């Protein structure tokens, strides 16, 4: 078992902040249910952390807490500040929701420009700079000619890129992705995650993503945290966290782990109910 | 993938907004409607003379329109106040409908269907039957009582609609329930005050009738406040289109925005109801026509709803007073006649999620 303690938090007034985001003793209660219980998590600048865990473990709630969308106890520090005001937070954290609301009839250009909201203020018009940033983002995401089309008219993969475009237009250093691959076929899943990885390298983004697909979680991302019953149960490099025992314990799943040069591959085994520990191995 | 952010980054894209073309169309519609409203009636008066007469009325302009004094009086003292009231009421009901649709993200939200008009009607009825006021003067109790009724009904509709989930239908069903209940209350108040029955019954059916300038003067400040507040929030309403959660993640305070615009829209709708009664469907017909013709961004839907809404109401009033002349149809009948089929059309398109 790994220790779930995050890297040390810098002392106030001390050395420059190393963590892009740090969460300490985070508690969230929703409608009387204690969803998160003392979550500790940190990500350093440029790091990609994937949060995995069974349904109902609190993954989305953790992202929502980082966005300031739920009230919480504990401490969330982003970019060295624990400012809870929405507009200043939205300049630091961008969000790609699992099922984005696609407003009927909204044009792709307007949709991506929504990402400039925290910078322009609610009442102000976009500046030329805002529009230039949005145009640049569209071009970068190969949506250059799509500005005048409606978001609804896009295919699933294009739509996902438009949502990503809105997040990028926010120019936030921390990107939160909630199940970014759910609605996509394998090819588009790969496209999206490759895109995130490329953008992370280009722009020095810190990425925190929730993912259901454990193999993808292992392949993309530096570190994995298992969230179970509202706590961070395990955290570490994919190969250390994605073990047969952990997956049996936290997901109740019976799997084999195949070691691949690109990272562990998680293969569900047929015939559940066998002792998961006995299947460990299958090393090449 | 390239590290360079593409060579076409100097291409600056445009945001949706009120372009000169649609703005000119809206202004033209309003001007044509006003001229038609002033020209057509039991006494036909040539449109160009009406236009000259209006220009003559401007300060510092003296033009001989060639109208006789009697005709000039018909234009300026009978038709002009009525057209002005139609403009104000139509613009206010349309822009408040568009605002409710944006704030509740519901294509069928409308002062009438959310029970807001019924709440305003009950408030106004109570004020009239209690002899609190006669519907004249800006701080008259009637529009204020109507506003209180409107706020209570929109709050109940919204809360009750949420109990039934967040679908389009549940909010409207709640609004219908609220409207039915309030209408029943209103009937009770009426039966208990049968002396006021006739006056209030005519008013329930809706009318753009005036006695001089008192009604337009009553309506004007409410119209101005509603339009000023709602237009100021047009960009915020576009952000709200992605839902509360995502809007909040973009730095917006969704509840605060919704509360402010709903207050403003209800203030205007209540004033419109207190001077003109229950005129339904305008808040659906006009904003949806604007969306179909020009686009769905609130940056253009809200201002164009003001212009086209005013024009629509003046023309509907023209139809109401000419269709069965010399008798007058209640204008609520005319708008319902047009609005009900339109409502079905919106239902059909909203299934395809195109407003």
The mean predicted confidence, pLDDT, of chain B is: 85
User: Residues of chain B with pLDDT > 90: what percent?
Assistant: 37
CB within 8 Å of A201: residues ≥ 6 apart? none
Asked if the model's pLDDT at residue A38 lies above 80, the reply is yes
Q: To 10 degrees, what angle do helices B214-232 and B80-103 make?
A: 30
Asked if the model's pLDDT at residue B325 lies above 80, the reply is no
DSSP state of B11: P
- Among the ranges given (A39-48, A189-198, B35-44, B135-144), the one the predictor scored with the smallest mean pLDDT: B135-144
pLDDT for B139 equals 62
Closest CA to B308 of B284, B337, B333: B284
Range B50-59 average pLDDT:
83
Using left for φ > 0, alpha for ψ between -120 and 50, and beta otherwise, residue B212 falls in: left
- Among the ranges given (A50-54, A96-100, B163-167, B245-249), the one the predictor scored with the smallest mean pLDDT: B163-167
Gap between the Cα atoms of B154 and B112, Å rounded: 10
**Residue contact B12–A106, C-beta within 8 A:** no
Pick the residue from chain B with its C-alpha nearest to A140. Answer: B5
Asked if the model's pLDDT at residue A144 lies above 70, the reply is yes
Interface predicted TM-score (ipTM): 0.85
Asked if the model's pLDDT at residue B349 lies above 80, the reply is no
Gap between the Cα atoms of A219 and B206, Å rounded: 67
User: A-chain residues within 8 Å CB-CB of B236?
Assistant: 122-123
The mean predicted confidence, pLDDT, of chain A is: 86
pLDDT-based confidence at residue B146 (cuts at 50, 70, 90): confident
Asked if the model's pLDDT at residue A66 lies above 70, the reply is yes
Strands A231-236 and A223-228: antiparallel
Pick the residue from chain A with its C-alpha nearest to B352. Answer: A104
> Do residues B234 and B300 touch, judged by C-beta distance below 8 A?
no
Range B290-300 average pLDDT:
94
Gap between the Cα atoms of B92 and B83, Å rounded: 14
Q: Any chain B CB within 8 A of the CB of A105?
A: yes
Q: Any chain A CB within 8 A of the CB of B229?
A: no
Asked if the model's pLDDT at residue B5 lies above 60, the reply is no
pLDDT-based confidence at residue B187 (cuts at 50, 70, 90): confident
pLDDT-based confidence at residue B49 (cuts at 50, 70, 90): confident
User: B-chain residues within 8 Å CB-CB of A128?
Assistant: 12
Q: Any chain B CB within 8 A of the CB of A157?
A: no
Of A16 and B63, the structure prediction assigns the larger pLDDT to B63
Q: What is the pLDDT of residues A194-244, one digit of tens each?
A: 999 999 999 899 999 999 999 999 999 899 999 999 999 999 999 999 999
Using left for φ > 0, alpha for ψ between -120 and 50, and beta otherwise, residue A115 falls in: alpha
> Do residues A90 and A118 touch, judged by C-beta distance below 8 A?
yes
Using left for φ > 0, alpha for ψ between -120 and 50, and beta otherwise, residue B191 falls in: alpha
SS3 state of residue B85? helix
Asked if the model's pLDDT at residue B109 lies above 90, the reply is no
Q: Return residues 156-215 of B near A (CB < 8 Å).
A: none
Range A27-31 average pLDDT:
90
User: A-chain residues within 8 Å CB-CB of B17?
Assistant: 125
**Residue contact A69–B249, C-beta within 8 A:** yes
User: B-chain residues within 8 Å CB-CB of A198?
Assistant: 1
Among A3-17, B8-22, B196-210, B329-343, the range of highest mean pLDDT: B329-343
Sign of CA dihedral B317, B319, B320, B326: positive
Range B39-59 average pLDDT:
84
Q: Any chain A CB within 8 A of the CB of B327?
A: no
Range B301-324 average pLDDT:
94
pLDDT for B34 equals 94
Asked if the model's pLDDT at residue B310 lies above 90, the reply is yes
Asked if the model's pLDDT at residue B159 lies above 90, the reply is no
CA dihedral B227, B230, B235, B239 (to 10 degrees): -150
Asked if the model's pLDDT at residue B329 lies above 80, the reply is yes
pLDDT for A6 equals 47
Q: What are phi and psi of B111, to 5 degrees?
A: -55, -35
Strand ranges across the sheet with A206-210: A93-96, A174-178, A206-210, A48-52, A223-228, A231-236
pLDDT-based confidence at residue B3 (cuts at 50, 70, 90): very low
Partner-chain residue, chosen from B6, B243, B253, that has the shortest CB–CB distance to A139: B6
Q: What is the pLDDT of residues B55-92, one digit of tens each?
A: 888 887 788 878 888 888 888 888 899 999 999 999 99
pLDDT for B218 equals 86
How far is CA A40 from each of CA A9, A48, A203, B280, B314, rounded to the nearest angstrom?
Answer: 11, 16, 26, 56, 64
Range B180-203 average pLDDT:
80
Tally Cβ neighbours within 10 Å of residue A131. Answer: 20
pLDDT for B274 equals 83
SS3 state of residue B281? coil
pLDDT for B202 equals 66
> Do residues B9 and A137 touch, judged by C-beta distance below 8 A?
no
Asked if the model's pLDDT at residue A276 lies above 80, the reply is no
Among B20-29, B107-116, B184-193, B324-333, the range of highest mean pLDDT: B20-29
Tally Cβ neighbours within 10 Å of residue B103. Answer: 26
Asked if the model's pLDDT at residue B350 lies above 80, the reply is no
Asked if the model's pLDDT at residue B7 lies above 60, the reply is no
Gap between the Cα atoms of A217 and A238, Å rounded: 8
Asked if the model's pLDDT at residue A14 lies above 60, the reply is no
> Do residues A103 and B293 touch, judged by C-beta distance below 8 A?
no
Asked if the model's pLDDT at residue A97 lies above 90, the reply is yes
> Do residues B101 and B107 touch, judged by C-beta distance below 8 A?
yes
Taking the model in full, what pTM does it have? 0.86
Rounded to the nearest angstrom, the minimum Cα separation between A18 and chain B is 24
Tally Cβ neighbours within 10 Å of residue A80. Answer: 16
pLDDT for A271 equals 62
* DSSP states of chain A: ----PPSPPPPTTSSPP-EEEEEEEEEEEETTEEEEEEEEEEEETT-EEEEE--TTSSHHHHHHHHTT-S--EEEEEETTB----HHHHHTTEEEE-SS----TT-BHHHHHHGGGHHHH-SSSPPPHHHHHHHHHHHHHTT-GGGTTSBGGGS-HHHHHHHHHHHHHHTT-SEEEEESTTTTS-HHHHHHHHHHHHHHHHHHT-EEEEE-S-HHHHHHS-SEEEEEETTEEEEEE-HHHH--HHHHHHHH---EEEEEETTEEEEEEPSSTTS-GGGG-----
User: A-chain residues within 8 Å CB-CB of B243?
Assistant: 101
pLDDT-based confidence at residue B28 (cuts at 50, 70, 90): very high
Q: Any chain B CB within 8 A of the CB of A87?
A: yes
Q: What are phi and psi of A44, to 5 degrees?
A: -90, 165
Gap between the Cα atoms of A24 and A1, Å rounded: 20
Gap between the Cα atoms of A54 and A66, Å rounded: 20
pLDDT for B293 equals 92
Rounded to the nearest angstrom, the minimum Cα separation between B87 and chain A is 27
Of A61 and B5, the structure prediction assigns the larger pLDDT to A61
pLDDT for A272 equals 57
Q: Any chain B CB within 8 A of the CB of A60?
A: no
**Residue contact A104–B354, C-beta within 8 A:** yes
Asked if the model's pLDDT at residue B269 lies above 50, the reply is yes
Pick the residue from chain A with its C-alpha nearest to B107. Answer: A104
Q: Any chain A CB within 8 A of the CB of B290?
A: no
């Amino acid at each position: 078992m790994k220790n779930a303690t995050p890297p040390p938090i810098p002392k106030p007034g001390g050395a420059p902040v190393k963590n892009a985001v740090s969460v300490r003793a985070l508690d969230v209660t929703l409608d009387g249910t204690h969803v998160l219980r003392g979550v500790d998590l940190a990500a350093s600048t440029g790091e990609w952390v994937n949060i995995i865990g069974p349904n109902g473990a609190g993954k989305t709630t953790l992202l929502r807490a980082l966005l300031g969308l739920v009230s919480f106890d504990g401490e969330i520090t982003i970019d060295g500040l624990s400012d809870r005001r929405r507009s200043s937070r939205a300049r630091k954290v961008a969000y790609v929701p699992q099922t984005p609301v696609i407003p009927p009839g909204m044009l792709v250009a307007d949709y991506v420009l929504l990402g400039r909201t925290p910078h322009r203020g609610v009442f102000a018009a976009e500046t030329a700079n805002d529009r230039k940033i949005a145009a640049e983002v569209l071009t970068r995401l190969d949506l250059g000619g799509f500005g005048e089309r409606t978001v609804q008219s896009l295919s699933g993969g294009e739509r996902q890129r438009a949502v990503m475009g809105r997040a990028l237009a926010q120019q936030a250093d921390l990107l939160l992705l909630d199940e970014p691959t759910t609605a996509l076929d394998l090819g588009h899943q790969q496209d999206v995650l490759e895109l995130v990885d490329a953008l992370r390298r280009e722009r020095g983004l810190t990425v925190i993503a929730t993912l259901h697909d454990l193999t993808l979680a292992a392949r993309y991302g530096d570190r994995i945290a298992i969230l179970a019953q509202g706590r961070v149960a395990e955290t570490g490099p994919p190969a250390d966290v994605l073990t047969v025992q952990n997956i049996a314990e936290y997901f109740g799943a019976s799997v084999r782990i195949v070691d691949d040069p690109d990272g562990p591959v998680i293969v569900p085994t047929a015939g559940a109910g066998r002792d998961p520990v006995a299947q460990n191995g299958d090393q090449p | 993938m390239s590290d360079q952010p593409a060579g076409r980054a100097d291409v600056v894209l445009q945001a949706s907004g009120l372009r000169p073309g649609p703005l000119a169309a809206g202004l033209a519609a309003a001007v044509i409607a006003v001229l038609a409203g002033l020209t057509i009636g039991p006494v036909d008066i040539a449109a160009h003379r009406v236009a000259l007469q209006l220009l003559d009325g401007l300060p510092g302009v003296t033009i001989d329109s060639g109208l006789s004094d009697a005709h000039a009086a018909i234009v300026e003292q009978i038709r002009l106040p009525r057209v002005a009231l139609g403009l104000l009421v139509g613009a206010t009901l349309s822009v408040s409908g568009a605002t409710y649709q944006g704030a509740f993200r519901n294509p069928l939200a409308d002062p009438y269907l959310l029970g807001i008009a019924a709440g305003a009607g009950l408030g106004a009825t109570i004020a009239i039957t209690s002899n609190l006021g006669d519907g004249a003067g800006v701080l008259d109790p009637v529009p204020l009582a109507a506003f209180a009724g409107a706020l209570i009904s929109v709050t109940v509709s919204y809360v009750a609609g949420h109990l039934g989930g967040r679908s389009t239908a549940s909010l409207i069903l709640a609004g219908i329930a609220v409207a039915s209940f309030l209408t029943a209350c209103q009937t009770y108040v009426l039966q208990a005050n049968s002396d006021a029955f006739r006056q209030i019954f005519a008013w329930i059916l809706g009318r753009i009738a005036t006695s001089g300038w008192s009604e337009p003067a009553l309506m004007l400040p409410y119209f101005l406040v509603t339009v000023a507040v709602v237009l100021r929030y047009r960009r915020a309403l576009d952000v709200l289109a992605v839902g509360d959660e995502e809007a909040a993640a973009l730095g917006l305070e969704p509840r605060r925005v919704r509360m402010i615009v709903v207050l403003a829209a209800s203030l205007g709708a209540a004033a419109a109801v207190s001077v003109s009664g229950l005129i339904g469907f305008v808040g659906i017909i006009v904003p949806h026509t604007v969306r179909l013709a020009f686009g769905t961004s609130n940056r253009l839907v809200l201002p164009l709803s003001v212009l086209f809404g005013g024009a629509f109401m003046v023309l509907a009033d023209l139809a109401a007073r000419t269709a069965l002349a010399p008798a007058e149809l209640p204008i609520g009948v005319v708008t319902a006649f047009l609005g009900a089929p339109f409502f079905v059309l919106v239902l059909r398109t909203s299934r395809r999620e195109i407003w």
